[in-house]
C-alpha cells in the first residue's frame, strides 16, 4: 500500500508512533523515525526485518530541528511524501480537574501538541512540493467529540489540531498536499499501560465500544496508511475516528 513512499513519523521512538513506523515499513515505505528520545532500537528492528528506516532525534517545538528532520529525510531517501504528526504530550500528563491544571503545563501542552504539528508541516511542505505533492496525517483523539473530564489542556490542544487540519487544506490543496486526521480512542501504548489504575478501567472502556475489546496501537496502522496512500488521493480535510465504534460522528 505504501511502496516507495518516504514518510516521517514524529514521536516514534515508542508507543503508537513506533508501531505506525514499523507497520508502514512492512507496507513498503521508507520511514524516518523521529523523536526527542533515541529511536535507534526501532530503526535497528525495522532494518533487521529487511525494511528501510533512519532515526532522527528532533524536538517538534524547534524550528531548526524540524527543518533538519526534513533535510535529513530528503538526503537519505531522495524526497518526502508523507508526514505523521504523532508526537505529543499525552501519556505522562497527570489527570487533573480543570482548575488544578498548572498554567505552565497548559502552555507546554499547547506548544508541543499544536505548535509542534504546525512547525513539522511547515518544514515538510517545501520538500513535498519538490516531489509534486504529499500527505500529512495529524493525530487527534476521540475525546474531543464527546468531552471527558481530567485532561482539559490536552483536549483543547487536540481540538486545535483538528481545526488546524481543516484550515490547512485550503492553503495546501493548490500544492497537491492533502491533510487528514485520525482520532484514536484510548489505545494501549506503553505509556498508557504504565498509567496507574489503567488495568481497572480497561474493561469499562472496552464495554462502551461497539467492538468490545482493548484498542491496540496496530489498530491505527491501516487508517493512517490509507490517508498516506494514493488510495486516498482525493481525500483531504477529513477526520477518521478509530475507536471500535465508541463514538459515532
Ligand X SMILES: NC(=O)c1ccc[n+]([C@@H]2O[C@H](COP(=O)([O-])OP(=O)(O)OC[C@H]3O[C@@H](n4cnc5c(N)ncnc54)[C@H](O)[C@@H]3O)[C@@H](O)[C@H]2O)c1
**Which residues contribute to the site for ligand X (CB under 6 A)?**
10-11, 13-17, 35-37, 59-61, 86-91, 112, 116, 139, 141, 184, 186-187, 189, 191-192
Sign of CA dihedral 138, 141, 146, 150: negative
Smaller CB distance to ligand X: residue 116 or 134? Answer: 116
Calpha distance 111→151 (Å, rounded)? 16
Q: How far is CA 159 from CA 14, 211, 212, in A?
A: 24, 25, 26
Task: Name the catalytic one among 154, 182, 227, 229.
Answer: 154
Least Cβ distance, residue 117 to ligand X (angstroms)? 9
Would you tell me how many other CB atoms lie within 10 Å of the CB of residue 91?
17
Least Cβ distance, residue 4 to ligand X (angstroms)? 26
Q: How far is CA 132 from CA 79, 90, 159, 211, 230, in A?
A: 10, 34, 30, 39, 13
Provide DSSP, 77-97.
HS---EEEE---S-TTPPP--
Among 209, 217, 186, 211, which residue's Cα sits nearest to residue 199?
186
Tell me, yes or no, if 154 is annotated catalytic. yes
Smaller CB distance to ligand X: residue 4 or 210? Answer: 210
Least Cβ distance, residue 126 to ligand X (angstroms)? 20
Among all chains, which residue has been given the C-alpha cell 491544571? 101
User: Coil, strand or helix: which one is 150?
Assistant: coil
First to last CA, the chain: 27
List CB contacts of 178: < 8 A, sequence separation 6 or more: 133, 134, 135, 136, 169, 172, 227, 232, 233, 235, 236
Smaller CB distance to ligand X: residue 78 or 222? Answer: 222
Least Cβ distance, residue 188 to ligand X (angstroms)? 7
Least Cβ distance, residue 30 to ligand X (angstroms)? 20
Smaller CB distance to ligand X: residue 91 or 238? Answer: 91
Smaller CB distance to ligand X: residue 37 or 163? Answer: 37
Catalytic residues: 154
Amino acid at each position: 500500500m505504501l511502496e516507495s513512499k518516504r514518510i516521517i513519523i514524529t514521536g516514534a521512538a515508542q508507543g503508537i508512533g513506533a508501531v505506525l513506523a514499523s507497520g508502514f515499513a512492512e507496507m513498503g515505505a521508507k520511514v524516518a523515525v523521529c523523536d526527542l528520545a533515541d529511536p535507534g532500537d526501532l530503526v535497528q528492528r525495522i532494518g533487521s526485518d529487511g525494511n528501510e528506516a533512519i532515526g532522527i532525534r528532533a524536538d517538534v517545538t524547534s524550528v531548526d530541528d524540524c527543518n533538519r528532520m526534513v533535510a535529513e529525510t530528503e538526503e537519505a531517501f531522495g524526497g518526502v511524501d508523507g508526514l505523521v504528526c504523532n508526537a505529543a504530550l499525552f501519556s505522562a500528563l497527570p489527570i487533573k480537574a480543570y482548575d488544578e491544571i498548572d498554567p505552565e503545563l497548559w502552555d507546554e501542552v499547547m506548544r508541543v501538541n499544536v505548535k509542534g504539528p504546525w512547525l513539522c508541516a511547515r518544514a515538510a511542505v517545501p520538500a513535498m512540493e519538490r516531489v509534486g505533492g504529499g500527505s500529512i496525517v495529524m493525530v487527534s483523539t476521540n475525546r474531543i467529540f464527546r468531552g471527558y473530564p481530567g485532561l482539559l489542556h490536552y483536549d483543547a490542544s487536540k481540538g486545535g489540531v483538528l481545526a488546524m487540519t481543516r484550515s490547512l487544506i485550503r492553503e495546501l490543496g493548490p500544492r497537491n498536499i492533502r491533510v487528514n486526521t485520525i482520532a484514536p480512542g484510548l489505545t494501549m501504548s506503553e505509556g498508557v499501560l504504565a498509567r496507574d489504575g489503567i488495568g481497572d478501567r480497561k474493561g469499562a472502556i472496552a464495554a462502551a465500544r461497539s467492538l468490545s475489546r482493548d484498542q491496540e496501537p496496530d489498530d491505527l496502522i491501516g487508517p493512517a496508511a490509507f490517508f498516506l496512500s494514493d488510495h486516498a488521493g482525493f481525500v483531504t480535510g477529513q477526520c477518521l475516528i478509530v475507536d471500535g465504534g465508541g463514538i459515532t460522528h
